[in-house]
Amino acid sequence: MIAAILLALATFPGGSVRADSLWSPSLGLKKQYIVYLPASYGTDTARRYPVAFYLHGLWGNEWDWVKFGKLDVAMDSLTRDCGAPGVAGAECAREMIVVMPDGDDGWYTTWNTLVNVAECRRNPARKDEDAASYCVPWPHYDDYIARDLVAHVDSTYRTIPDRSHRGIAGLSMGGYGAVALALQYPDVFAAAASHSGVLSPLYGGPRPFSLPVRYATDMKSLRAGWGRFWPLIYPAFGRDTAGWAARDPARLAKRLLAGRRRMPELRFDSGWDDKLVIDGNRAFHAELSALGIQHRFMELPGAHDWDYWKLHVPESLTWLASIISAPVERP
């Protein structure tokens, strides 16, 4: 029996990773994305698959989850082990397509400031990115992901093209994007997972977290709180507190709840040593708890780095797969 299991594991074919692209009307240019296709995609040609979208962080790109997070290796391991003797359901995942888009440093939102495209292309903020792709005419990064990319993937790959079979996740800036997009587009995403996400951008203290929470109420305190990261976020969130409040995940959840619309499943975690976001994650947890919104929040050993994200991406993959791979009851 053991020899048979080892042989099966050794001969299990892995999934494939490829680069693809789409024209995004919301951004006004062509964007590349990376897609992981499960092992059976090329052979079981009648089968359709759920889709998980994984968003990168600030200064990152569409290759990060594969290059640094080894997401494809994690998916191969999780799907290979499903059904193996002694493997619990929490330790494996059903096959799904995983899409990793290029989100620039756009915070996955519609920017609150205008972009000088000509100046950006003359003096790009990032030397490691193609200015023709990074400097977008219309920074509508939320519609780019939730509308353009989702529609393109559904028309290009054999997906199950409905909300119940679609999830989203991300790290840091991408963790913010995943949660905010799921709350803004509950008709598109059934679940969102965040690793070290910026989930309470207005959080002002105390540090370490304790109740009552103090939030920034003016731009001076916001700028001071964000410090060296200020130039990297205010173009997207804006120069007034109203713009920040409109993009705040807790307020998005409250608005969704008030509208009696279907709430996406939410899961988020942060490292104990992550001074950048852990207090904000605790504040978001407190806000959701006060609203009576069910969610999963975990504090784990680690910091704001790839050692942490690589270690915990199998957990979000497994969790998302358990939701978007589940059979849907039809009326």
Cα 214 from Cα 203, distance rounded (Å): 7
Q: How confident is the model at residue 110 (pLDDT cuts 50, 70, 90)?
A: very high
| CB neighbour class for 179 (10 Å; exposed up to 12, middle 13-18, buried from 19) | buried
Task: Quote the pLDDT of residue 261.
Answer: 84
Model-wide pTM > 0.85: yes
Q: How confident is the model at residue 64 (pLDDT cuts 50, 70, 90)?
A: very high
Task: Report all structural domains of the chain as residue ranges with CATH numbers, in order of start.
Answer: 15-324 (3.40.50.1820)
CA 242 to each of CA 2, 67, 251, 257, 287: distance values in angstroms, whole numbers, following the listed order: 61, 37, 11, 20, 19
Strand segments (E) across the chain: 16-24, 29-37, 51-55, 97-101, 166-171, 191-195, 203-205, 214-215, 265-271, 296-300
End-to-end CA distance of the chain: 43
Strand segments (E) across 63-116: 97-101
CA 46 to each of CA 49, 93, 307: distance values in angstroms, whole numbers, following the listed order: 10, 20, 38
Query: Which three-class secondary structure state does DSSP give residue 157?
Result: coil
Cα 290 from Cα 282, distance rounded (Å): 12
Average pLDDT over residues 90-103: 89
